[in-house]
Homo-oligomer: A and B are copies of this chain.
Amino acid sequence: MKIKTDLYLGDSKNELKKIEDNSIDLIITSPPYADQRKKTYGGILPDKYVEWFLPISKELFRVLKPTGTFILNIKEKVVNGERSTYVMELILAMRKQGWLWTEEFIWHKKNSYPGKWSNRFRDSWERLLQFNKQHKFNMYQEEVMVPMGNWAKSRLRNLSETDKIRDNSKVGSGFGKNISNWLTRDKAYPTNVLHLATECSNKNHSAAFPEELPEWFIKLFTKENDKVLDPFMGSGTTLIVANRMRRNSIGIEIVREYYELVEEKLKPLDVYLLEPEVKYGNFKPARRSKIR
């Protein structure tokens, strides 16, 4: 089946109206964060943030399937030495719109920006808020089971070092068998804390989303041929990942420069889509080990 990727240039508040009711399986987005400085991308003041976002979340509610999920990546800024409360106010207001606040994942940013301040430490985490329309929603937990990644690897490395010595006399008895034991205990369910480094590649957009993040949620909440929406597309990471994973997707972006950038990035992908096995085969499984 052909995978479709649609891009809309414009304000989410308006563009979302073009999308059908109950047609989206997963919404995942990182909206412009509130900011004191008006000139940056978005530039919504903290005290206007809820008011600005509510019309959009209302449309998102309409277009999401009853079994779908909305993942919102956000973190409140420090304003005058205190954490802003607009995120909490947003959650409370969205519940009044009918959203269920199902879960809050933590994105632990392993390589947070350096710095020293007199009264706070480096901020190295962000919220990933999960909202749903109803208590029963689609979730494919097996898809995000993780190899005990580093654990298994380091155990194996240790083993090979210490056992190397012993093996001189033991002739490696049982060594192979032990390894196979570890390999069968290969996977475990993750928790609600995601450990990811921030991406360095997207220099053209301020909100650099590591690819592993949308990838993880797309695996968890959709299957092939489902439809993913990112109403604040930015550099298009979510759409590109969705496309690679054979999910249909819709992206909305208000800044023409970003819009065109993503258009360019998606062109070569369309070609690959004609050879689905090859494309999907290229999808890097190594990435999985990065999420613990």
Which of B89, B103, B106, B123 sits near A108, CB closer than 8 Å?
B106
A139–B100 CA distance with the chains assembled, in angstroms: 38
Q: Number of A residues contacting the other chain (C-beta, 8 Å)?
A: 37
Q: Using an 8 Å CB-CB cutoff, how does the interface string of A85-103 with B read, 1 for contact, 0 for none?
A: 1001101100100001111
Contacts of A124 in B (CB 8 A): 191-193
The verdict on A190 contacting chain B, using a C-beta distance below 8 Å, is yes
Q: How many copies does the complex hold?
A: 2
The answer to whether B122 and A102 have CB atoms under 8 Å apart is no
The verdict on A112 contacting chain B, using a C-beta distance below 8 Å, is yes
The answer to whether A82 and B102 have CB atoms under 8 Å apart is yes
Contacts of A38 in B (CB 8 A): none
Selected interface stretch from A113-121, A167-175, A178-186, A254-262: A113-121
The answer to whether A122 and B191 have CB atoms under 8 Å apart is yes
Q: Which residue on chain B has the smallest CB distance to residue A83?
A: B101
The answer to whether B102 and A189 have CB atoms under 8 Å apart is no
The answer to whether A192 and B122 have CB atoms under 8 Å apart is yes
**7 closest A-B pairs by CB:** A124-B191, A88-B88, A81-B135, A122-B191, A82-B100, A121-B192, A83-B101
Q: 17 interchain pairs (CB within 8 A)?
A: A81-B100, A81-B135, A82-B101, A82-B135, A83-B102, A85-B91, A85-B92, A85-B101, A106-B108, A106-B125, A108-B193, A112-B191, A120-B192, A121-B141, A121-B190, A124-B192, A125-B192
